[in-house]
Amino acid sequence: MPLHRLRPVRLLLAALVALAGTLLAAAPSPAADAPARGSAYMGIGVLAHDGQNGTPRDTRAAQTEGVDVSGHQGNVAWSTLWSSGVKWAYVKATEGTYYTNPYFAQQYNGSYNLGMIRGAYHFATPDTTGGATQADYFVDHGGGWSKDGRTLPGALDIEWNPYGDSCYGKTQSAMVTWIRDFLNRYKARTGRDAVIYTATSWWTECTGNYGGFATANPLWIARYASTVGTLPAGWGYYTMWQYTSSGPTVGDHDKFNGALDRVQALANG
C-alpha cells in the first residue's frame, strides 16, 4: 500500500489505542486490599465503618453469652469457650453461591456436642446471585433447621460489601427486594423466619431504614460499644448483639437478650 494511504490508517489505530487506554483508566477496579472471595465473616465491616467505643456494662439484665465463628478461626476450642460461660454459637456455613466453610463440621458439631445451642449463618453477596438462590444454597449446605431444641434458625448476615461497593451496587428498594426474596425462600424451605444480622448504619444507607421485616425476623445487631444504640426501623428491641471482635478465644462475642431459656425458646420456634 502506498505510504500516503498508510498514514491515515496509522493515525486511526493510534487514536483507538489512546481511547482504549482512557476507558481502562476510567473503569472501576477492585480495591488493592480487598479480601479473597469467600473469606468474609460476620462483622467484617463494623470496625472500619462504625468503629469501637467500649464494651457492654457488667450490670446489664440477664443475658447469655455467645460467639460467632467462620473459616478464618479454623478448629475452635469449644471446651475453653464452654468453660468460660459461652452457651450458644453461630457458625458461617456459606457465602454467595460459591463458598462453603471447610471447618463447618468441626465448628457446628463441636459446639453442639459440648451442649451449646447452635445455628448457621450465610454471608450475603447480593451482587452475585438472587436472594432466593442464595437461600437455597444456604439450606442445602448446612443452613437448615431441625426442632431438636438446640438448633437456632439460620441467620442472614447482610452488611457492608468487603469486595466493593458497600451496598453491592443496588438501590435501596432493590436491596429490600433481595432480602425479602432470601427470607421468603428460607422460610418456605425450613418453616422458620431467619434472623437478620446487620448494623444500623448499613441498614439505613442500603435499605433506606426499611422497617418491614421487624414483625417476623429477629434482629441481631452489630455495634462495638457499651450500648447497642439506635436500632434499625421497626425493631423495638434486639434479640442478639455482637458487641466485640476482640473477645477471648475466638474474637467475635455476642449477647443474647435474655437468659438461657430464651435462647432455647428461639431454637424451639
Contact yes or no for 77/107 (Cβ under 8 A): no
Catalytic choice (50, 68, 193, 252): 68
Tell me the three cell numbers of residue 156.
442472614
Whether 68 is a known active-site residue: answer yes
Catalytic choice (50, 95, 136, 159): 159
Burial 5-34 (b: 16+ CB within 10 A, else e): eeeeeeeeeeeeeeeeeeeeeeeeeeeeee
- Cα–Cα dist 92/105, whole Å: 11
- Cα–Cα dist 186/174, whole Å: 18
Whether 50 is a known active-site residue: answer no
> What single-letter amino acid sits at 190?
T
Contacts of 260 (CB under 8 A, 6+ apart): 64, 87
Whether 157 is a known active-site residue: answer yes
Measuring CA to CA, which residue among 153, 157, 46 is closest to residue 95?
Answer: 157
Catalytic choice (50, 95, 136, 157): 157
**Which residue in the block uniquely carries the three cell numbers 477496579?**
29
- Cα–Cα dist 244/228, whole Å: 11
> What single-letter amino acid sits at 136?
D
* In the chain, beta strands by DSSP E: 52-53, 64-69, 88-95, 99-100, 117-123, 155-157, 195-198, 219-222, 224-225, 240-247, 251-256
Active site positions, annotated: 68, 157, 159
